Chain A
Amino acid sequence: MYTLGVDIGSTTAKAVILENGERIVASSIIIATVGTSGVQNAVTEVLDKSGLRMEDMTAVVATGYGRQTYEQADYQISELSCHAIGAHFVFPDVHTVIDIGGQDAKVLSLNERGQLANFAMNDKCAAGTGRFLDVMASILNLKISDLEKEAAKATEPAQISSTCTVFAESEVISQLANGVKIPDVVAGICSSVASRVASLVRRVGVQEKVCMTGGVAQNGGVRLALEKELGVPILYDDKAQLMGALGASLYAFNKENKKNNT
């Protein structure tokens, strides 16, 4: 049985095809926002890669902010549950999932069976989300993927204390004007995200093992800063960004499987 999970986020669309809820056949990530053709491109790409057709999918599940607009979905569930399911699949003994995406940060607490038991999300502010990092990277003229490398070179991480993204932007500019080196500024930016997210994690409770999912998880600078803040190791897998789509695909499989067994 093949199942397709589609995660339509605020900045990217992701798709994962699973075989029998066990093996990832193919996956795709397209940079696009909700409401654009990104979803369709992500689905076309994942089908192309797998050599399968839409008709081969037993069930399709959509998740993410655009979940309600994707008409091909048989079901839609929140990305909260999907990240929990996906993370539990990759790390069976994980109890806390930190998912930082483009426009929000979520901390999920999982029960013994890997189901979503509780969660906390950032408030209306963009600090501590992917968008914050995007803005900071662009002032520094860096690519998001360079942030990790730069942060690793830091000798005296700078202090970025403003919560507001716009204030933090001017803080970064004045740090640079004062001669603070770019790697130190980058490390300060990563710590600023980490400290915002750490308070969310504490609200839910730090229960090991802890893993990170979502696009920002790829940034080792933020991961390391978070490990330091929380004092626990943070698991990471290179499928981090796909975790929502993976969870959706697994949800589809479980749902169909249950149907067939009743």
Chain B
Amino acid sequence: MAEEVKKQRPAPDPNSAKMRLRKIAADAYSDAVEAKKRGELVGWCSSNFPVEIPETLGLTVCYPENQAAGIAARGGGERMCSEAESEGYSNDICAYARISLAYMKLKSAPEQDMPLPDYVLCANNICNCMIKWYENIAKELNIPMIMIDIPFNPDYEVSEAEIDYIEAQMWDAIHQLEKITGHKWSDEKFRQVQQISGRASKAWLDATATARYVPSPFNGFDLLNHMAVMVTARGKEEAAEAMDKLNSEYEENHLNGTSTFHAEEKYRIMFEGIACWPWLRVTSTGLKGRGINMVTTIYADAFGFIYKDFRDMCRAYAEVPNCMNIEHARDKRVRLCKDNHVEGLLVHTNRSCKLWSGFMPEMSRQIGKECNIPVVSFDGDQADPRNFSEAQYDTRVQGLMEIMDTNKEAK
């Protein structure tokens, strides 16, 4: 019998954007562990909290949403969710919150460790579940909670009054942090951070915009991974550099006719919602196996924070996708669909995230109508593996593909 020769994959280039981004994401955790060991105070921070504040103050913070996603992607979601449920938390609560609350109690998880916090930084521009989640942590660990209230904005634009409200709280948060940590705010340092974060954001927006090329130079699932750096490290120099590199790699791919989507790109869709982390492989191969490339998601837009000064930054944080009104949020998605030649929309109805799955049926209906594309949704969960059915997912994706086929034939 002929001996099977195992296909040798070339060792990944440590200088590639992918490896650099992976390292930045991993270092964020190990740096925090080291900082804690040195006796520094470490904070936990919600994903849409202005990172410019801890960054300018030179503080080490970790991101529980990110950690929860990592734990779920590596198979620990069910264990951690059950742990939180046995503490009395309902299984209806956001699975990121359940995982994080379980972690607070267990203090370690083989999938992704992170030091426990000495203070928490919470902004509710992402959702209001966040407030109760962080309050519980603060109460249980008896640590301070710094809260910036950035309410859902029912108007299309952010008003000056809202900016006043947020700006005052930002300064208050800074002063509280100065008191807690002893670190001092510097306007000069802030300008540097703003400049780096602007550069990283611009490179991220440019990289994700290369999906306008047909075929796309990248597999949209890349974005779900790379995004971690935009959440946690966009104020860091090395993040801006890695994002520049990502953009130039995608441009190169386009010129060379290559892509990180390793299949023939027959259909292009937008994916809406948080990734289904426990079933990432199943959800991605269900698409790739059919030649469906998820070329864009709202994340492509969500972490592009470009602003001109401190006050303008306050506006930017009131304009993140989860706190803008439905018309504004829809228009952003419509633009992504149109710019990137999207032929169908796949919506992850994620019961963990009340906010997102709440507005999605109506918003996706409007997007489908405006862009004249089919919209298909499937049930899942960002981190609790018990709320997903592979067979149901598969049928829906195939149905979506068959409609896209019919639409192509009609053209």
Do A and B associate with each other? yes
How far, in Å, is B394 (CB) from chain A's closest CB?
Answer: 8
How far, in Å, is A105 (CB) from chain B's closest CB?
Answer: 12
A117–B389 CB distance below 8 A: no
Q: Does A104 contact B (CB under 8 A)?
A: yes
Known contacts being A80-B402, A203-B361, is A118 close to B374, with CB within 8 Å? yes
A81 to B394, CA, bound (A): 14
Known contacts being A65-B391, A203-B361, is A121 close to B402, with CB within 8 Å? no
Give the residues in chain B near A68, CB-CB below 8 Å: 394
Chain A contributes a number of interface residues (CB within 8 A of B) equal to: 19
How far, in Å, is B351 (CB) from chain A's closest CB?
Answer: 8
A80–B399 CB distance below 8 A: yes
Give the residues in chain A near B308, CB-CB below 8 Å: none
Q: Does A77 contact B (CB under 8 A)?
A: yes
Contact of A78 among B374, B375, B398 (CB under 8 A): B398
B392–A104 CB distance below 8 A: yes
Known contacts being A117-B374, A118-B403, is A78 close to B349, with CB within 8 Å? no
B402–A65 CB distance below 8 A: no
Q: Which residue of B lies closest to A203 (CB)?
A: B361
A78 to B368, CA, bound (A): 21
A116–B392 CB distance below 8 A: no
Categorize the interface residue count of chain B: 20 to 34
Q: Does B406 contact A (CB under 8 A)?
A: yes
Known contacts being A65-B391, A203-B361, is A116 close to B396, with CB within 8 Å? no
A106 to B114, CA, bound (A): 44
A81–B402 CB distance below 8 A: yes
Chain A stretch 46-80: residues in CB contact (< 8 A) with chain B: 65, 68, 77-80
Contact with A along B384-411 (1 / 0, CB 8 A): 0001010110111011001100100000
Q: Which residue of B lies closest to A82 (CB)?
A: B402
Residue with the greatest number of chain B CB neighbours at <10 A, chosen from A80, A118, A123, A124? A124
Q: Which residue of B lies closest to A115 (CB)?
A: B406
Q: Does B379 contact A (CB under 8 A)?
A: yes
Contact of A116 among B349, B368, B375, B402 (CB under 8 A): B402
Give the residues in chain B near A78, CB-CB below 8 Å: 395, 398-399, 402
A116–B387 CB distance below 8 A: no
A65 to B390, CA, bound (A): 10
B403–A117 CB distance below 8 A: yes
Q: Does A119 contact B (CB under 8 A)?
A: yes
A163 to B90, CA, bound (A): 19
A79 to B402, CA, bound (A): 11
Chain A stretch 93-124: residues in CB contact (< 8 A) with chain B: 104, 111, 115-121, 123-124
Contact of B392 among A118, A120, A124, A203 (CB under 8 A): A124
Q: Which residue of B lies closest to A117 (CB)?
A: B403
How far, in Å, is B326 (CB) from chain A's closest CB?
Answer: 17
List 23 A-B residue pairs with CB atoms under 8 Å apart, sorted by A's residue number. A65-B391, A68-B394, A77-B402, A78-B398, A80-B395, A80-B398, A80-B399, A80-B402, A104-B392, A115-B406, A116-B399, A116-B403, A117-B403, A118-B374, A118-B375, A118-B403, A121-B395, A121-B396, A123-B349, A123-B379, A124-B392, A203-B361, A203-B365
| Beyond A80-B398, A119-B399, 13 extra complex contacts between A and B, CB < 8 Å | A65-B391, A65-B395, A78-B399, A78-B402, A81-B399, A116-B399, A116-B406, A117-B403, A117-B406, A118-B368, A118-B403, A119-B403, A121-B395
**Chain A residues in the interface with B (C-beta under 8 A):** 65, 68, 77-81, 104, 111, 115-121, 123-124, 203
The 3 closest A-B pairs by CB, nearest first: A80-B399, A78-B398, A124-B379
